[in-house]
Amino acid sequence: MQPTRHSILTTALLALSLAGCASTGLNEGRELIAAGQTEAGIARLRTSLAEEPDNIEIKAYYHTQRERLTSNLLTQAQQDLDASRFDAAEVTLRKALVLHPENPRAGMLLSNLVTARQHEQTLQTANQALASHPAESEQAARLILAQAPGHAGALALLQQIQAARTADELNPRELGAAYRKPITLEFRDATLRNVFDMIARQSGINFIFDKDVRLDTKATLFARNTPIVDAVDMLLMTGQLSKKVVNANTLLIYPDLPQKQKQYQELLVKSFYLGNADAKSTMAMLRTLIKARDLYVDERLNLLVMRDTPEAIRLAEKIIAVQDLAEPEVMLDVEVLEVKRGRLLDLGIQYPNQFSLLNLPPATTSTIGQGGVVTNTTPPASVLTVESLKNIAASQIAISPVPTVNFRKDDSDVNILANPRIRVKNREKAKIHIGDKVPVITSNTTATGVISESVSYLDVGLKLDVEPSVLMRDDVQIKVGLEVSNIVREIRSNSGTLTYQIGTRNASTTLRLKDGETQVLAGLISDEDRSTASRIPGLGDLPLLGRLFSNQRDERSKTEIVLLITPRVLRSDATRQPALTEFRGGTENAIGGGLVPAPFVVGTELVLPSQLVQPDGIPVTPPLLPAPQTPPPTDTPD
């Protein structure tokens, strides 16, 4: 028996010592981690766990801390990789692998580090060669993106290349600056062939004609000191012709007809990412205003894609810039103040006003029936008989209420303040409810006798509904609905159903305020004045002395609701300049087309408005002069 006890004691001491060692290792690991020595702390915990692998506390703490610390290191390493801090990323990843050698993400990031360094070197070379060899730079950027689709540097380089290329593609082809020099042309009833031949010889412009252009058509043109380009536009406008710039010194001339426009006019594709306007309504507007040809809407991205002439695209940009505006928002500072004032005066002596008899003895009543039979009956206890009054004792007489002396005076001033701030979108409703939801139980009894109950909730307290509308010049129109309610008393029906009597005060109005202006709504007043008295008849009516034989209760309560509301415009429609809301829209046949300044007719000559100026540089509108009797000489080549 003695050896058995010794072995049990030895086992217990060994278990306590092991538990103490395990506890020491856990505490040391915690202290090291708290001191910032994460690697040493994890190593100490790992050693303790190897000594006692079944210890749940050490195992849970070790795995939790290892995962947390490793996750933080990997997050930092990813940030360093994204910022191209490769040396710092490598150091961080090495630390993570020391803490958690089996972590798959750490090994993957470390293996990708070499590739990232190669990509960075390739990207630097591509940036240096961008100016001289853009095609090679683009190929290098696409190679990097093929291996790392989300590489920020390669994406930025590719966007830069595409932006430069897009600018060259979108810029309309124009004649060289040399063709802005002035020229003088004087033709009367000359064929178009001769006119264009003269312009070509004097300016050096090459003309290519569509097969449907009738070069034998007669034209009359008088233009003095007019830029070559403007003179050509004047000639085309009067001959119902149109042009297309082929290169810096070549023009293609074709009839200004719809089928020819489709054949020669270049179209652009523009994507409008709308931030505020609805894409479908914008598409309908463009179809109506500029007769847009091809439109497509992507509702998922709120994207509108348009394919039309460059002039129509530019006009659509202006229209959408006016429409695609953020809805105004308003911050409403609301302050609701409920002021309660109460006065109570309860003074006097409350005398008993009733008495009652307790435990009346039953009285027997004798009655003589038919045949002279005497019957003794006992009346109900609630019936007071003369017989029962004979044996009333003093202990059976009770008076109520107990006489009391009242000396009470209460003064109360209560302010209940609610100060919510609401941010609401233009022409949207916002609601505030500060109070309680009172349950109302309704019982329904079916024909079979089954009783079912349903619960509905009644809002009691402060309810405020506002709907702002931001107007011009930061004016705000606000529809306000205010309701203040409270439970006056509970009412229980004969069936036991509990209902409530609700007292309410409400106001509804529409305000127009300036930004930051405060409006006060007051006057929702509830004023109650009650006076009750309990007097002994006769004695209580005596002057002065009557106060000794009466009890007087005077109660007055006054409640007022005050609402202060201040709108603050957070985002409003800026005052639009005429340049943004009014612009040229082209002609009926050429939507958004650039307009050539209309020439004035002086005699039979066509003169541009830019030629008509006073000596001080102020342009003038010349009068219509009669045609000369002798026609001016013409310079018509053979």
Residue 359: per-residue pLDDT: 64
- Tokens 């439970």 — which residue? 487
Question: For 26-64, what is each residue's pLDDT tens digit?
Answer: 777 777 777 777 777 777 877 877 777 777 877 777 778
**358 within domain boundaries:** no
* Listed residue (314, 311, 321) closest to 282, CA to CA: 321
Residue 298: per-residue pLDDT: 93
- Count the neighbouring beta carbons within 10 Å of the beta carbon of residue 533: 12
Residue 295: per-residue pLDDT: 93
The SS3 of residue 374 is strand
**Is pTM, for the whole model, over 0.95?**
no
**619 within domain boundaries:** no
Cβ atoms of 160 and 190 within 8 Å: the answer is no
Question: For 72-108, what is each residue's pLDDT tens digit?
Answer: 888 888 888 877 788 888 888 888 888 788 788 887 8
Same domain, 474 and 555: yes
Work out the mean pLDDT of the chain and round it to a whole number.
75
Q: Examine the pLDDT at 518 and tell me if it is beyond 80.
A: yes
Cα of first residue to Cα of last residue in the chain, in angstroms, is 146
Q: Examine the pLDDT at 515 and tell me if it is beyond 50.
A: yes
**40 within domain boundaries:** yes
Higher pLDDT, 622 or 561: 561
Same domain, 129 and 231: no
Residue 17: per-residue pLDDT: 46
Same domain, 557 and 478: yes
Q: Are strands 365-368 and 374-377 parallel, antiparallel or unpaired?
A: antiparallel
Residue 115: per-residue pLDDT: 82
Question: Stretch 341-365: mean pLDDT, rounded?
Answer: 68
Residue 139: per-residue pLDDT: 84
Cβ atoms of 502 and 486 within 8 Å: the answer is yes
Residue 377: per-residue pLDDT: 55
What's the 3-state SS for 43-87? Answer: HHHHHHHHHCCCCHHHHHHHHHHHHHHHHHHHHHHHHHHHCCCHH
Question: For 602-629, what is each residue's pLDDT tens digit?
Answer: 333 333 333 433 334 344 433 333 333 3
Residue 636: per-residue pLDDT: 43
Residue 592: per-residue pLDDT: 64
Residue 604: per-residue pLDDT: 34
Q: What whole-number percentage of the chain has pLDDT above 70?
A: 73
> Using 50, 70 and 90 to split pLDDT, how confident is the model at 574?
low
Same domain, 73 and 122: no
How many structural domains compose the chain? 5
**283 within domain boundaries:** yes
> Using 50, 70 and 90 to split pLDDT, how confident is the model at 493?
confident
Cβ atoms of 616 and 235 within 8 Å: the answer is no
**603 within domain boundaries:** no
**299 within domain boundaries:** yes
Q: Examine the pLDDT at 460 and tell me if it is beyond 50.
A: yes
Same domain, 209 and 135: no
Q: Examine the pLDDT at 371 and tell me if it is beyond 70.
A: no
Domain edge (last residue) among 516, 540, 570: 570
Same domain, 159 and 215: no
Same domain, 277 and 181: no
Question: Stretch 572-585: mean pLDDT, rounded?
Answer: 58
Host domain of residue 311 = 268-325+580-587
Residues 6+ apart with CB under 8 A from 104: none
Question: What letter does residue 630 receive in the DSSP assignment?
Answer: S
Same domain, 255 and 157: no
Question: What letter does residue 365 receive in the DSSP assignment?
Answer: E
Q: Are strands 250-255 and 206-209 parallel, antiparallel or unpaired?
A: parallel
**356 within domain boundaries:** no
> Using 50, 70 and 90 to split pLDDT, how confident is the model at 406?
low
Q: Examine the pLDDT at 389 and tell me if it is beyond 90.
A: no
Cβ atoms of 444 and 456 within 8 Å: the answer is no
CATH code at position 299: 3.30.1370.120
Same domain, 412 and 560: yes
In the numeric block, which tokens belong to residue 195? 């006119």
Residue 296: per-residue pLDDT: 93
Rg of the chain taking only CA atoms, in angstroms: 50
Residue 283: per-residue pLDDT: 93
Residue 601: per-residue pLDDT: 37
Residue 18: per-residue pLDDT: 45
How many alpha carbons fall within 13 Å on the CB side of residue 301? 9
Among the listed ranges 459-468, 499-508, 621-630, which one has the minimum average pLDDT value?
A: 621-630
Question: Stretch 566-594: mean pLDDT, rounded?
Answer: 66
Separation between Cα atoms, residue 546 and residue 378, nearest integer Å? 46
In the numeric block, which tokens belong to residue 637? 């080549």
Residues 6+ apart with CB under 8 A from 184: 223, 224, 225, 226
Domain edge (last residue) among 228, 243, 264: 264
CATH code at position 187: 3.55.50.30
Residue 143: per-residue pLDDT: 85
Higher pLDDT, 123 or 552: 123
Question: For 240-253, what is each residue's pLDDT tens digit?
Answer: 888 888 888 888 99
Same domain, 193 and 138: no
> Using 50, 70 and 90 to split pLDDT, how confident is the model at 305?
very high
Q: Examine the pLDDT at 304 and tell me if it is beyond 90.
A: yes
Same domain, 75 and 132: no
Q: Examine the pLDDT at 15 and tell me if it is beyond 50.
A: no
Cβ atoms of 126 and 155 within 8 Å: the answer is no
**352 within domain boundaries:** no
> Using 50, 70 and 90 to split pLDDT, how confident is the model at 281?
very high
* Listed residue (428, 422, 426) closest to 474, CA to CA: 426
In total, the chain counts a number of residues equal to 638
Higher pLDDT, 567 or 576: 567
Question: For 527-554, what is each residue's pLDDT tens digit?
Answer: 777 777 777 777 777 777 776 677 777 7
Residue 128: per-residue pLDDT: 85
Question: For 170-219, what is each residue's pLDDT tens digit?
Answer: 566 777 776 778 888 888 888 888 888 888 888 888 888 998 888 888 88
Same domain, 477 and 564: yes
Q: Examine the pLDDT at 331 and tell me if it is beyond 60.
A: yes
Residue 478: per-residue pLDDT: 92
Among the listed ranges 221-225, 351-355, 374-378, 430-434, which one has the minimum average pLDDT value?
A: 374-378
Helices (H), 486-529: none
How many alpha carbons fall within 13 Å on the CB side of residue 151? 24
Residue 355: per-residue pLDDT: 63
Cβ atoms of 502 and 467 within 8 Å: the answer is no
> Using 50, 70 and 90 to split pLDDT, how confident is the model at 357?
low
